[in-house]
Amino acid sequence: MKKLIPYIIFSLSLSACGYNDFPPAPDIDPERLYPTMGLSTIREWTIERAVLLPTEGIIAGYVTANDRTGNFFQTLIISDNSCAVEIKAGYSYLHHVYSIGRYVAVKTGGLVAEQYNGMISIGPLVSTEFTQYAGEFEAEMYMDKSVFPADYIREIEPMPLTIAKLDKQLCGMLIKLDDLLWAVDPQTDSDTWADNPSTALGYPAQGNRYFHDPKGDSIMVQTSAYAHFAGYQVPRERVSLTGILMYGRTTARQQGFFIKLRSADDIGLE
């Protein structure tokens, strides 16, 4: 018996139970769902009011904007070339799963679509005593029940436009404007796209920078102070800008078009 003890110890040491041993990453192959209607259909439905979307419907598009650089917050924009829709995620760090160019399908059951200033938004139904509107998913596991990204990504080309041709029907679309020059207002503008939160005193302010084209038409570029490129210098040379077209209040008294860049890569020096 005594002679067996060293062998017992040795054999026990070899018989690890593997509580911390796991196989390599599992295979992941998300299903690709195909749309039953175009995004432009949603635009038609929502011209006058918010609508509860069909229970069995599917819409689809490619991600044109996400929260990767902080200029968009807790939201996604998908586009199918005819129209664009905002998905009101309501939580952060979307960009890993919903990367730019990814094909995304949305099962519309239980979702509401609404239109405001030309932008179509969809989200889960929220009902109050007086109205119903598109809420936010707020948690990824609940967005996963309606929004299905596929394992397919493609290059997204912006729509080339001029300021004169902007239309509220195009809100949400990824557009490109060429030959723009910053109309710097030395009274109000700093030389960066927005305040930098790490250096700003008090609340950092978003930046509104106006650019005009050779025809004299102008457009505002709105940049969140939390955008990674907020502290970058605004170029004083002629540039092309790519961004998501939006419409809304541009000054205290005026409404107009503005664009939001997705990253510093959307600034093209000419």
Partner 1 sequence: MPRLLIPILTLLLFPFCAQAQHNTYDFTENDGINSGETTVSGDPLLFLRPLGGDDIYLRLSEFGFSNVSWQYRGLDNSFDKHLFAGLDMDGGLSRTRNYRLYDNLSRMGFFKKTVSDLPGGTDAYTPGFVEQIYGSPFEANYGSARLSLFGYNRNGRIGGRASYNFLNEEWAGGIAGSYRTGRDGSVDGVFNEEVSATIVLGRKIADVHTLTFIGDFSWYERGTRSYTTARVFELSGNKRYNPAWGIQDGKQRNSRVSDHFLPAATLLFEGKAGDDTRIEAAVSVQAGELGYSALIWYDAATPYPDYYRHLPDFIEHDFLRREIYQDWRAGNPSVTQVNWDRLHYVNHMSDEDIAFLLERRVERVTDVRVTTKGRTSFTENWTLGYGFNLSNENTRFFKTAKDLLGGSPFIDIDQYLTDDFSGTQLILNNLREPGRRIGTGDRFGYDYTLNLFSFSGRTALEYDTGRISAIVSAEVGNSALVRTGHYEKTNLPGTLSFGRSPLTSKAVRTLSLSGRYSLSATHIFLVSLHEGTKMPYYGTVFTAPQYSNAMTDAPSVKYYSASASYLLTDAAVRSKISLFYTGTRNETAVYRYYDDLENLFSNMVLKDISKRSYGVELGLTVALWQNLDLNIAVSRTISEYNSNPHAEIYEDATQQLYAASKSHLDGYDTGNTPRWLSAFELRYSRFGWAGSLSYSYSAGRYIAPNPLRRMERIFLRATSPDYFNALTRSEKLPDAQSINATFMRTFYISGNPLTLFISVNNVLGSDNIYNGYEQMRLSRNTSGDSVNYEPFPSKYLYSYGRSYYLSLSYRFR
Out of 131, 187, 198, 251, name the contact with partner 1 by CB under 8 A. 198
For residue 233, state whether it binds partner 1 (rule: CB under 8 A).
Answer: no
156-164 contacts at long range (C-beta below 8 A, 24 or more positions apart):
156/62, 156/63, 156/64, 156/79, 156/100, 156/101, 158/242, 162/213, 162/215, 162/217, 163/212, 163/213, 163/215, 163/217, 163/218, 163/219, 163/257, 164/215, 164/217
Q: What are phi and psi of 8, to 5 degrees?
A: -60, -45
- Contact segment (CB under 8 A) with partner 1 among 19-27, 76-84, 168-176, 207-215 equals 19-27
In the numeric block, which tokens belong to residue 79? 């586009």
Q: Which DSSP state fits 168?
A: G
For residue 47, state whether it binds partner 1 (rule: CB under 8 A).
Answer: no
Min dist CB 255 to partner 1, Å, is: 27
For residue 268, state whether it binds partner 1 (rule: CB under 8 A).
Answer: no
For residue 229, state whether it binds partner 1 (rule: CB under 8 A).
Answer: yes
Closer residue to partner 1 in complex, CB, 177/227: 227
Query: CA-to-CA distance for 205 and 194, rounded, in angstroms?
Result: 7
Min dist CB 180 to partner 1, Å, is: 23
For residue 17, state whether it binds partner 1 (rule: CB under 8 A).
Answer: yes
| CB-CB contact of 125 with 52 (8 Å) | yes
Closer residue to partner 1 in complex, CB, 116/133: 133
Closer residue to partner 1 in complex, CB, 187/198: 198
Query: CA-to-CA distance for 132 and 210, rounded, in angstroms?
Result: 36
Out of 85, 120, 148, 149, name the contact with partner 1 by CB under 8 A. 149
Exposed, middle or buried: residue 134 (CB in 10 Å: 0-12, 13-18, 19+)?
Answer: buried
Residues that bind partner 1 (CB under 8 A): 1-2, 5-6, 8-9, 12-13, 16-17, 19-20, 22-26, 28, 30, 90-93, 95-97, 99-100, 102, 124, 126, 135-142, 149, 151, 153, 196-198, 204, 226, 228-232
